[in-house]
Chains A and B, each alone.
Chain A
Amino acid sequence: MSTTPPIDSALRLEYVADFEYSYAAGKFASRFMDALRNEARIQGTRCGVCDKVLVPPRPVCGLCLERTAEWVDVGPGGVITGYTVVEVPFIDPMTGIKRPIPYGFAFVRLDGADTNIYHFLEESRHDKISIGMRITAVFKPAPERDGTLADIIHFRAEGPAADE
């Protein structure tokens, strides 16, 4: 039986896959984003069975398996229900470039909602953020809004900033 001779260097082939994708966000996301862009309104859908208001809005309540019944306004205020400050660099798959760090992000439970959305916090100092903290959405000026979740720049602590 012959054996494979040893090799001096392992061949490594570098390549870049620069693909572009285009995603149809769907009827519910499109209606949400229209209201966000045109009226700075944030909305969810209410389940007629469990009565929970679900944000992001969706056609079906995942736990009740029933179609949601109606659209309702939520926020723009809310509370933080979980948070972190990202200090590790990585390539943002939305843009293909490194996302600036550090940044704070959180689970935000908007007033009137029963679920939480992920969004950026204005604050990026970990010891200035806490669960239960009240925050409110900071919207882009109307002419700059483009109908994406980024029309909410981030969430800011309610009331005057603590020590600025």
Chain B
Amino acid sequence: MEKNYLNWKKGLLSWLLTRDHKRIGLLYMITVFSFFFVGGVFALLLRLELFKVGETIMNSAFYNQIMTYHGAVMIFMVIIPGIPAFLGNFVLPLQIGAKDVAFPKINLLSWYCLIVGAGVTLLSLFLGGVDTGWTFYTPYSIETNTAVIPVVLGVFIMGFSSILTGLNFIVTIHRLRCPGMTFFRMPLFVWSLYSTAIIQVLATPVLAITLLLLVGERILDIGIFNSEKGGDPILFQHFFWFYSHPAVYIMILPAMGVISELISAFSRQKIFGYKAVVFASLGIAGVSFFVWGHHMFVSGQSEWAGIVFSFLTMLVGVPTAVKIFNWVATLFKGSLKFDTPFLYALGFLFLFLIGGVTGIMLAVLPFDVHVHDTYFVVAHFHYVMVGGTIMGIMGGFYYWFPKMFGRLYNELLGQVSFVFIFIGFNVTFFPQFILGMSGMPRRYADYISPYEPLNQVSTVGSWLIASGFVVAFFALIWAMFKGKKSSANPWGAKTLEWQTSSPPPHENFLKRPVVSKDAYE
């Protein structure tokens, strides 16, 4: 049998102590999908509770906890590590012709940070749970007698995972490109990871100090976020969103990178306006640091700040629209192949467009004041994060699946599960726009009866999504072990990772690649 990175060494320890970026990528794969399952079960429980007016399956205190864990698990354990640490780890060195990332040991350490951080966070489940919402807003997070400290410390530790991955990627991209791989020959996925890594490195430390201060509030009562002691709870929101808004782009930029790869590969075209997409990625990363105040339009920040943040936020729409135009232009000239990864790319375009346009609506100050903290916002960010990031993860996973395992997935099952997920997603979240417009507040365990019919539609949608993922899960597990053998380049794609065998050998390429053309030529 041919030697590759999967059978290069055997035994559990050879995985747990590996420094191979491909194996670490697969460790992240298992981790991210496990947490996706956990967060998904929480989501199903929430939707079930909201199926009917009144208490359905849980009391409201428990609902608050489930809602907090759904958010925290999905954000910090699934969406943030999802594309960079899982797909990025596997693909990035291959795409730039490197043998590994710059710091393989730190790469492994970052996976352990995620595991330990997630463990500490979830440990709180057994210490009474936490009910603050994933944003940990003060003063409530100081006053509640639930287990805030382990959750916050866990997120702090997971932050290191994110920082170390970002740092590793920046250095890898700067220092380990193979001969001939100039910056403007890099695939757009690499550029998106680069933009993401800048945010990870620059924004996450601010979250770290914010969370430390919150722990300080709870243990030492330091008063910096406590108005009784002269402090200011709004400062917490500023600090938190200074990280967490850019973090939205940690979630979406890599998905955009995946979509660029998919659209190029399945329309058999080079990306229209390559450089424009590159600068759009960097532009989004840059602007992302100056828009955090749009989360605080009604928090009591000054009106002037609100107006400035409103305009700055709309600016994000410009580079985003550039990308969407370029993707559509690429499709326009291409000969399309409707395989599962491409379906996810189309799903992304459709859903992300809705998520993006409603984002611009929310950036408009007076409109936001009207729908602030309603289900309109919930629907908006699910269209961005699920419709964007999860579509990106799934599309990218199907696309690189043959490279990872050297086997093909079942196309029919892939398409069936996509249809369930895509339709289920819209059935779940589109009604929430309407609910939000008609005033249903978010985060509550209950609602008044006029909201009931649309909530029932939404809950049924969540079952459709779940069915889709169940089909996808079993089909992919089966394909991993029993699928048909794949050739090195089943899609006829142009980027470097398809030039080596599937699965790749231990150090990626048997012969050092030398590049003499652009990424998609």
Same complex for A and B? Answer no
Q: Chain B residues in contact with chain A, CB under 8 A? A: none
Q: Chain A residues in contact with chain B, CB under 8 A? A: none
